[in-house]
Amino acid sequence: MSRRQPEITPELMVRAYRAGLFPMAESRGSDRLYWLDPERRGIIPLDAGFHVPKRLLRSVLGAAFEVTADRDFAAAIAGCAAPAPGREDTWINADIERLFTALHRDGHAHSIEVWQAGALVGGLYGVTIGGVFFGESMFSRVRDASKVALVHLVARLRLGGYALLDSQFLTEHLSQFGAHEIPRADYKRRLAAAIALPATWEAAPPAERLAAEIRSLRAGPA
């Protein structure tokens, strides 16, 4: 007889993130979650180590996209869960969507949405505790949309006094921005220090202040 998985609640999720754990499902259709604590953790720098390709910086500061935060969290996580070319299945199952939507209602989960001509074309979501943003997933339906979302996320985190942006794993997509891996023990030390910080989530900072912060990001190769 199979054992029923203990109920995972939003409160348990917060405690797990504080300890450096995060949940995943094996597939979109899976009815079970499991906890991960990788030996090496991907992080995205929030200081001068974060760099933006020059071409992308022009796209971020241009008028092609409208970028919002927390306007439609449900649509952002649904976009991350949807099949895409090269990613026919995801680890975001119904329980993940339910739990993170509850965390959003409690003020612990946030989204960045990227719009074009009124349609949602990209975005990301993650969890915030203290001065840490735990990035979960991102999606893009047009070129650069997820990258634009990431740049806007970093600008908001810098404005809000965050110290750690956790990407969980390192990907080629993220490495171009300066993302890298650190050992688990180093991550846990940084996590403990950053969680204690009184950071503020900047969902809608003044447009001029946000644009100035984006311009201050280090521009990398074209």
Q: Report helix, strand or coil for 161.
A: coil
Q: Is the pLDDT of residue 4 over 70?
A: no
Distance, in Å, from the CA atom of 53 to the CA atom of 214, rounded to the nearest integer, reads 12
Structure tokens given for 74 = 């449900």
- Coil vs helix vs strand at 125: strand
SS3 content of the chain, % helix, strand, coil (to 5): 35, 30, 35
Tokens at residue 77, please? 């996580």
Which two three-digit tokens encode residue 124? 């990301």
pLDDT at 220 > cutoff 70: no
**Using 50, 70 and 90 to split pLDDT, how confident is the model at 207?**
very high
> What confidence score (pLDDT) does residue 2 get?
40
Q: What is the mean pLDDT of residues 22-28?
A: 86
Q: Which residue has the tokens 């939507």?
A: 101
| Residue 218 scores a pLDDT above 80 | no
Question: Region 17-40: what's the mean pLDDT?
Answer: 89
Higher pLDDT, 3 or 69: 69
Look at residue 5 and tell me whether its pLDDT is greater than 80. no
What SS3 state is found at 167? strand
Sign of CA dihedral 56, 59, 65, 71: positive
Q: What mean pLDDT, rounded, does the chain reach? A: 91
| Arithmetic mean of pLDDT, 32-47 | 94
3-state secondary structure of 142: coil
Structure tokens at 220: 């990398």
**8 A C-beta contact, residue 79 and residue 122:** yes
- Give the model's pLDDT for residue 96: 92
* pLDDT tens-place string over residues 144-190: 999 999 999 999 999 999 999 999 999 888 999 999 999 999 999 99
